[in-house]
């Protein structure tokens, strides 16, 4: 997933940071809609209400803690993993500061739809850059890698149910947006990923060595009219 940064570094880094910024913006749109968040953001919002910290600060803090959980799982973060921890939190706080809460239901539905679609595009952007998974995704894949035979889908579902339940108890927003996100984010990411995926460079096959005669191989006799003709002396 991390790939080789020497391959198209400008596009990949630009795509990474645009994707992470868009991810934070899309989170803020869903928050301002008030119609429900994805499981991790329900958890983040609940913690923010409990601690009085901003949403972005909580996102960064949780990202750091989840990243520390990679250590016993022996996962290696990429550039994108580290950038994810910081950039998403900064983007969500900046957008929330500019976007007022409330508004008519039609506007809130538009914010929700824009947030979900933007989140799908953002996911494809940073995954397509191939510079490392997000800390939460890496936690799931690392857990499965350490315990072969476990289903990634099952592990992801269990973790998301757990954070959703805790977030709801802390006051995070669950609603129609939570269900809509769960049903559409996968197809949306798959829709956008072929557009933004940066393929790994293909390696050229090694040249075939020229055949060389074996030692002791005799030189073939000449053929044709002069074959077998000896030089005579008078």
> Is 74:139 a contact under the CB 8 Å cutoff?
no
Q: The pTM is what?
A: 0.81
pLDDT digit string, tens, across residues 198-210: 887 666 555 555 5
- How many residues are there in the chain? 234
pLDDT tens figures, 135-156: 988 888 887 777 777 787 888 8
Give 14-18 contacts, CB < 8 A, sequence gap 24+. 15/125, 15/126, 15/128, 15/129, 15/196, 15/198, 16/79, 16/80, 16/83, 16/125, 16/126, 16/129, 16/131, 17/83, 17/87, 18/125
């Amino acid at each position: 997933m991390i790939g080789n940064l020497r391959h198209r570094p400008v596009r990949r880094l630009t795509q990474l940071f645009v994707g992470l910024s868009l991810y934070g913006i899309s989170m803020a749109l869903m928050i301002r809609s008030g119609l429900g968040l994805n499981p991790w953001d329900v958890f983040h919002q609940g913690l923010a209400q409990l601690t009085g910290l901003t949403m972005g600060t909580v996102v960064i803090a949780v990202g750091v803690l989840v990243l520390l959980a990679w250590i016993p799982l022996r996962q290696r973060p990429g550039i994108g993993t580290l950038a994810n921890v910081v950039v998403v939190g900064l983007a969500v706080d900046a957008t929330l500061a500019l976007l007022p809460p409330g508004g008519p239901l039609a506007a809130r539905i538009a914010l929700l739809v824009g947030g979900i679609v933007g989140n799908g595009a953002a996911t494809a952007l940073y995954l397509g850059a191939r510079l490392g998974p997000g800390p939460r995704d890496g936690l799931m894949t690392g857990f499965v890698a350490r315990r072969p035979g476990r289903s990634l889908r099952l592990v992801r579902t269990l973790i998301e149910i757990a954070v959703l339940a805790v977030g709801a108890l802390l006051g995070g927003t669950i609603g129609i947006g939570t269900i809509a996100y769960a049903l559409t984010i996968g197809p949306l990411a798959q829709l956008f990923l072929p557009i933004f995926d940066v393929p790994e460079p293909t390696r050229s096959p090694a040249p075939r060595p020229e055949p060389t005669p074996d030692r002791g191989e005799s030189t073939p006799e000449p053929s044709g009219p002069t074959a077998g003709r000896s030089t005579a002396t008078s």
